[in-house]
Amino acid sequence: MTKRDMRIQLSNGLEARPVAMLVQIASTHESTVYIESDSKKVNAKSIMGMMSLGLDSGEMVTVTAEGKDEEATVADIEKFLSGKEA
């Protein structure tokens, strides 16, 4: 299992379009992926789950992945949330 804390650095936070992109990135990987904010933990491959978090720019989240490509999964999500891939 790979677990990493990261800050959302997208200018508008995770609105509908960025959430859809994040779900798409997570879905390209085999690993199970969860994003946790405060005490809420959701499947990063679920658009409805991700939208329910309502995350803004600057917020901290914990990304957890488990599976064959867990390192790459977390790295790709971190790259996206850092604003380096949009």
Q: Each residue of 46-65: pLDDT tens digit?
A: 999 999 999 999 999 999 99
Q: What is the mean pLDDT of residues 26-37?
A: 98
Q: Which of 11, 77, 86 is nearest to 50 (CA)?
A: 77
Q: Is the pTM of this model over 0.75?
A: yes
Q: Which of 5, 11, 4 is nearest to 83 (CA)?
A: 11
- At 84, the pLDDT band (50, 70, 90 cuts) reads confident
Q: Which CATH class is domain 2-81?
A: alpha beta
Residue 85: predicted pLDDT:
61
